[in-house]
Amino acid sequence: MDADAPKEFSTTATGLQYRILRKSDQIRPTVAGIVVVHYRGRLSDGTVFVNSYEGGKPQQVALGKTIQGWQEGLQLVGRGGLIELEIPPKLAYGDAGFVDFSIPPNAVLRYRIELIDVK
């Protein structure tokens, strides 16, 4: 994390909240691109529902196949950056939740994502 990283979240027009914790280069992903990331996802009560660090290997993900909060948030940071996202339900899994990850309906999701590479 950069020493000058903001303490407060910024909010986009869609309601996504974010903090860029580590600055990056200017190579940013597009929704059509592939990203290589490490990430940890938590519910608002602190419960971790996914953690790529546990497997030891970063994940390669088609950004366009992720939730809208990821699509929007990862375009705010470039390769090498670290971002924290607070994603409202409408930009995540909404009323349905996501049973595979034990995400309840209307859950606010908190992610810390390290953007390792953009392809």
DSSP per-residue letters across 40-106: EEEETTS-EEEEGGGGSSPEEEEGGGS-HHHHHHHTTS-TT-EEEEEE-GGGTTGGG-BGGGTBPTT
Q: Return the pLDDT at 114.
A: 98
pLDDT tens digit sequence for 47-69? 999 999 998 999 999 999 999 99
CATH of the domain at 60: 3.10.50.40
Q: Return the pLDDT at 1.
A: 73
55 belongs to a structural domain: yes
2 belongs to a structural domain: no
Q: Is the pLDDT of residue 75 over 80?
A: yes
pLDDT bracket for residue 29 (50, 70, 90): very high
State the average pLDDT for the chain.
Answer: 95
32 belongs to a structural domain: yes
Q: Is the pLDDT of residue 4 over 90?
A: no
48 belongs to a structural domain: yes
pLDDT bracket for residue 96 (50, 70, 90): very high
Number of folded domains that form the chain: 1
1 belongs to a structural domain: no
Average pLDDT over residues 21-36: 94
4 belongs to a structural domain: no
Supply the DSSP symbol for 9.
Answer: P
72 belongs to a structural domain: yes
Q: Which domain holds residue 90?
A: 12-118
Q: Is the pLDDT of residue 117 over 80?
A: yes
47 belongs to a structural domain: yes
pLDDT bracket for residue 5 (50, 70, 90): confident
pTM for the full predicted model: 0.93
